Amino acid sequence: MASIIQEIGTPLQLAALFLLLVFGVLRLLVRSGKWTPSAAINRLVINRIFQTAIIALVLGVLSSTLGPSFNRWMNSSEVFHGAVLSTTGDPIAGATVNLITIATVSTNGVGQFDITVPQDRMQKEYKLQVKAPGYETPDVMTKSAAEMQNVEIRLQPAPPELVKTLGPPLYIGQYFGNPFALVSLRVENAGASLTTINEIRATLVTKDASFVLSPAFWTIVNPFGPFAPVTGPFPILAGARLDLRVFLMPGMNFASLYSKVGALPEYKLQPPCVQKFNGSVDPMSDDAYAISKAFAEEHFAWREGEWHLKIDVVAENQAKTFHRDFSLSSGEVDRLRASIALLKQCLSANTAAPLAQDKGMANFLEK
């Protein structure tokens, strides 16, 4: 539009000069007596020619003069300035400032940033999102154009990470045939009060199968237990630095197994594999083992190939995801399947000690 105004400025001036020339010629004719127009013609024609010429001249001059200024106004942009600081006033370098739908910039070494907004995208209010490593991410902020002229954002330092790493060892195996993963999470509570890990969930995937794993048992003593059933969030005491070991497996329905074994005469009063006062455990009866073995073989899911384990951990103030890849050979799959035989001696049948081995046979592998 501004360029159009500039373009019409010169033609208007030329038209004005032409009309003034016509007006001058007519006035000379009248003054010399060669033409005597009526009063109406003098008023309506000659005077109107003069008025039109003056208006065209003024518009032409204004168009040429104001056109560039109008063009600069039409194509102007607005620059917003700001700074990202910690709650203690320290500048935060490398913070990401997103003026939503317009531009994303990073703060410089002293926490400052500039955002240029084109004229055609100027708004009365803007939505702003700020993120920085080591700091909590606030909700999306709404700021007026006036506030954005010199805006200051303060970020709250994020609490120390509760769950540090997924450490070795990783054990995988079978429990009554079902796949399990025993993971070890390095946990450090640097705070002054008890905190919790609210949720741990995992997926176990191979090329043609996928399993959702949930926590079943846990321990902080050693990889082999004793284990306790998972009944809720995992409490982490203030100052604790420990390895939380969690036994993850698919949701299992043991009702049919327990029903069949419980119907056997020898287990009418007491289930199999109950520990005696002296700590010993009697082997399963042949019938109970046959039922348990059939159940385990029906649910056995390990197979040769590449596997991927993904673990999501949600604590009070953080969420982390860990990944682990491993492979199984046909020999390893055979060994895990053969370990179902440990159920005969009630090994790997006790929830307090789900990992078991005997004479080179084990229901788990280290990965």
| Residues 171-189: tens digit of each pLDDT | 999 999 999 999 999 999 8
Q: Is the pLDDT of residue 2 over 50?
A: no
Query: Using 50, 70 and 90 to split pLDDT, how confident is the model at 63?
Result: low
Task: Give residue 191's pLDDT band: very low, low, confident or very high (50, 70, 90).
Answer: confident
Q: Where are the domains of the chain?
A: 2-74, 77-155, 163-366
pLDDT tier for residue 23 given thresholds of 50, 70 and 90: low
Check for a shared fold between 77-155 and 163-366.
yes
What is the per-residue pLDDT for 5? 40
pTM, full prediction: 0.62
* For residue 68, pLDDT beyond 60: no
Dist. CA 29–CA 312, nearest whole Å: 99
Average pLDDT rounded to a whole number, residues 37-59: 59
pLDDT at 7 over 80: no
In degrees and rounded to multiples of 5, residue 324 shows phi and psi of -145, 130
* pLDDT value for 6: 42
* Residue range 247-302, pLDDT digits in tens: 999 988 899 999 999 999 999 989 999 888 887 889 999 999 999 999 999 999 99
Q: What confidence tens digit (pLDDT) does each residue in 195-213 have? A: 899 999 999 999 989 999 9
CATH 2.40.50.100 fits 163-366, yes or no: no
**Rounded to the nearest 5 degrees, what angle is found at the Cα of 301, between the Cα atoms of 296 and 302?**
115
CA distance 233 to 196: 6
Q: Nearest to residue 174, comparing CAs of 337, 294, 307? A: 337
26 pLDDT exceeds 90? no
pLDDT in tens, 101-114: 999 999 999 999 99
pLDDT digits (tens, 9 = 90+) for 332-343: 999 999 999 999
Parallel, antiparallel, or unpaired for β 241-249 and 364-366? unpaired
Highest mean pLDDT among 17-21, 36-40, 88-92, 194-198: 88-92
Looking at domain 77-155, which CATH architecture does it have? Sandwich (2.60)
